[in-house]
């Protein structure tokens, strides 16, 4: 790891100030992506601004309209274990409980995961399928506008994700085929039926990151059953092909995971 | 460089370290507690597990500065040679280790899962919970057996205490 200077922020405004003052600063949340990347010398921020101790970024609350608000620095284990999330959004709780391993879930956070937008990360599929909104220190995004490509988001350099709000949803479920070594998704499909209609979002497979499958959404609007999506496949053209699996293999996994998710919802 | 102070195995310790120092490096090199192992460079093997503020985390994927002010437990803080922790005793009895490199991490993982999920764990739960711990030697069966036995013995201890 290259040299760096560590700062602990105790509020969002302090974090913004520290970030502005830094030469080439980076926010540090759970560190479960950033620290391994720095160890490999693939990132070399001059300064690290730690968000993990900022109280206003933590916690899960159910709001009066039934939506669930999750602070950006809330760890995966807390989302997986939350009684409110399990009741209102079982698919989201199940997803959080399948990220990596128990130790990664103790540190890694929802804000860090979506800001990073790894094409194989789990959370982006839930935000897109549930029609979540993303609050930052500057503005609010819809999930549709937030994820802009592989490891790309609509965030500015000095912008901090503060919370994610998930609207009340009738049904939600997630099915993931994990890479046996890394546990990241080879293909993960999140299905939801709620205020934003029926949505199907796929992670782990797309070259540009998370995407929706409109054809499956239409089919599920007609009939919510695994059979409704069984004969729908996505084109392999825009899917990832790597040592873990070809794009054709991933295309097949998308249909299989969609069926499993619908069956589980 | 900065000063870090934390409680490790019940004792307050401090040291001056570079900000990029990993918690695993601080534990091994500054504190000479070499029971915490480093087995990979990719945050995947779990040999480096310690508990920070009561939760198992990978000390190779956390800066010492992030643990500043916290309470850390390493394998040296678990049991004593004369009086092994039930998990350590069960690993010994079930031949849950061969070379022993992964063992400190396995024990810290096992204690964390029993703390979180309660005693009397079933095999399926134990196998899923071990997703972040890699062993090159044993083939895992005896590790799972050991954790199952320890989780049952810890249930007996808890019942006896009630
Ligand atoms: C062994 C292992 C297995 C894993 N398996 C999975 C898996 O199966 N599925 C999965 O989805 N993920 C997996 N992960 C990744 C894990 O979920 C990370 O926790 C997550 O991707 C990043 O979150 P973090 O809080 O650790 O972020 P950090 O590593 O601290 O930060 C990541 C990036 O986001 C930026 N950032 C952090 N917080 C904010 C914020 N509030 N606002 C703006 N920018 C911010 C940082 O500057 C950095 O660029 C795995 C990681 C490991 C080590
Ligand atoms: S040394 Fe920490 S996970 Fe391998
Ligand atoms: S006993 Fe050798 S690595 Fe597990």
Check: CB of residue A130 under 8 Å from CB of residue A196: yes
Give the predicted TM-score (pTM) of the model. Answer: 0.96
**A219 has a pLDDT exceeding 90:** yes
Is A88 inside any structural domain? no
Name the phi and psi angles at B11, rounded to 5: -105, 140
**A256 has a pLDDT exceeding 90:** yes
Provide the residue count of chain B: 162
Percentage above 70 pLDDT, chain A: 100
Report the nearest-CA residue for atom 49 of ligand 1.
A116
Name the phi and psi angles at B67, rounded to 5: -95, 0
Q: Which residues pair with A203 in a beta bridge?
A: A188
pLDDT per residue as tens digits for the range B1-13: 899 999 999 999 9
Nearest chain B alpha carbon to A47? B19
Name the phi and psi angles at A190, rounded to 5: -110, 125
Is A76 inside any structural domain? no
Q: Measure the CA–CA gap between A178 and B40, rounded to whole angstroms.
A: 20
Check: CB of residue A159 under 8 Å from CB of residue A137: yes
Mean per-residue pLDDT, A110-135: 98
**B93 has a pLDDT exceeding 90:** yes
Mean per-residue pLDDT, A109-113: 98
Strands A5-8 and A47-50: parallel
Is A26 inside any structural domain? no
Is A70 inside any structural domain? no
Å from A93 to nearest chain B CA?
A: 16
Closest to B61 (Cβ–Cβ): which among A31, A181, A183? A31
Domains of chain B by start residue, with CATH: 2-77 (3.10.20.30), 86-161 (1.10.150.120)
Residues 6+ apart with CB under 8 A from B29: none
Percentage above 90 pLDDT, chain B: 93
State whether residue A197 is helix, strand or coil. Answer: strand
Mean per-residue pLDDT, B133-149: 97
State whether residue B33 is helix, strand or coil. Answer: coil
> Residue B11 has what pLDDT?
98
Is A99 inside any structural domain? no
Kindly report the CATH number assigned to the domain that includes residue A185.
3.30.390.50
Is A6 inside any structural domain? no
> Residue B1 has what pLDDT?
81
State whether residue A57 is helix, strand or coil. Answer: helix
Domain carrying residue A178: 115-265
Q: Measure the CA–CA gap between A160 and A12, rounded to whole angstroms.
A: 8
Residue A20 tokens, joined: 């502005």
Question: Which of A6, A16, A33 is the pocket-test mutation for ligand 1 (most atoms within 8 Å of CB)?
Answer: A33
User: Who wins on pLDDT, A183 or B22?
Assistant: B22
Q: Measure the CA–CA gap between A231 and A221, rounded to whole angstroms.
A: 15
The predicted complex's ipTM stands at 0.96
- Cα of B81 vs centre of ligand 3, distance in Å, is 20
Residue B38 pLDDT class (50, 70, 90 cuts): very high
> Residue B155 has what pLDDT?
83
Q: Which residues pair with B22 in a beta bridge?
A: B63
Within 8 A of B113 by CB-CB distance, chain A residues are 102
Interface membership of A16 toward B (CB under 8 Å): no
| Ligand 3 residue neighbourhood (C-beta within 6 Å) | B 97-102, 135-138
> Residue A60 has what pLDDT?
98
- CA torsion A179→A183→A188→A191, rounded to 10°? 150
Residue B156 pLDDT class (50, 70, 90 cuts): confident
Is A40 inside any structural domain? no
**B154 has a pLDDT exceeding 90:** no
**B161 has a pLDDT exceeding 70:** no
Question: Which of B37, B101, B108, B146 is the pocket-test mutation for ligand 3 (most atoms within 8 Å of CB)?
Answer: B101
Burial of A91 (0-12, 13-18, 19+ CB in 10 A): buried
Is A197 inside any structural domain? yes
> Residue A182 has what pLDDT?
84
> Residue A160 has what pLDDT?
98
| Ligand 2 residue neighbourhood (C-beta within 6 Å) | B 38-40, 43-48, 58, 60
Residue B35 tokens, joined: 């029971």
Percentage above 90 pLDDT, chain A: 97
Q: How many domains does chain A have?
A: 1
């Amino acid at each position: 790891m290259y040299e760096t200077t560590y700062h602990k922020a105790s509020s969002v405004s302090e974090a913004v100030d520290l970030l502005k003052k830094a030469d080439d600063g980076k926010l540090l949340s759970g560190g479960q992506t950033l620290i391994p990347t720095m160890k490999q010398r693939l990132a070399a921020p001059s300064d690290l601004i730690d968000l993990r101790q900022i109280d206003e970024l933590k916690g899960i609350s159910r709001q009066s309209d039934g939506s669930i608000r999750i602070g950006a620095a809330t760890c995966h284990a807390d989302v997986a274990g939350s009684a409110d999330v399990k009741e209102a959004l079982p698919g989201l709780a199940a997803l959080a409980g399948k990220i990596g391993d128990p130790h990664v879930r103790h540190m890694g956070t929802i804000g860090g995961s979506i800001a990073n937008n790894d094409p194989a990360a789990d959370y982006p599929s839930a935000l897109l399928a549930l029609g979540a909104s993303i609050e930052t220190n500057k503005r609010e995004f819809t999930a549709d506008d937030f994820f802009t490509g592989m490891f790309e988001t609509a965030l500015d350099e000095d912008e901090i994700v503060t919370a994610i709000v998930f609207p009340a949803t009738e049904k939600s479920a997630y099915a993931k085929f994990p890479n046996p070594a890394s546990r990241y998704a080879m293909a993960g499909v999140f299905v939801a039926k709620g205020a934003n209609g029926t949505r199907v979002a796929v992670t782990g497979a797309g070259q540009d990151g998370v995407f929706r499958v409109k054809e499956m959404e239409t089919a599920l609007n007609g009939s919510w059953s695994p059979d409704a999506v069984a004969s729908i496949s996505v084109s392999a053209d825009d899917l990832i092909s790597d040592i873990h699996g070809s794009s054709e293999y991933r295309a097949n996994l998308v249909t299989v995971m969609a069926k499993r998710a619908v069956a589980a919802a | 460089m900065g000063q870090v102070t934390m409680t490790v195995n019940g004792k307050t310790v401090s040291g001056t370290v570079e900000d990029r120092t990993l918690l695993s490096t601080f534990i091994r090199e500054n504190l000479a507690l070499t029971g915490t192992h480093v087995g990979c460079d990719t945050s995947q093997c779990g040999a480096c597990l310690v508990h920070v503020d009561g939760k198992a985390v990978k000390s190779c994927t956390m800066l010492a500065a992030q643990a500043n002010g916290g309470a850390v437990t390493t394998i040296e803080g678990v049991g004593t040679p004369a009086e092994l922790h039930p998990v350590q005793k069960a690993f010994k009895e079930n031949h849950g280790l061969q070379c022993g490199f992964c063992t400190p991490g396995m024990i810290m993982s096992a204690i964390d899962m029993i703390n979180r999920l309660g005693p009397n764990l079933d095999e399926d739960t134990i196998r899923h919970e071990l997703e972040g711990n890699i062993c090159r030697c044993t083939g895992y069966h005896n590790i799972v057996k050991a954790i199952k036995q320890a989780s049952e013995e810890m249930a007996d201890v808890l019942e006896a205490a009630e």
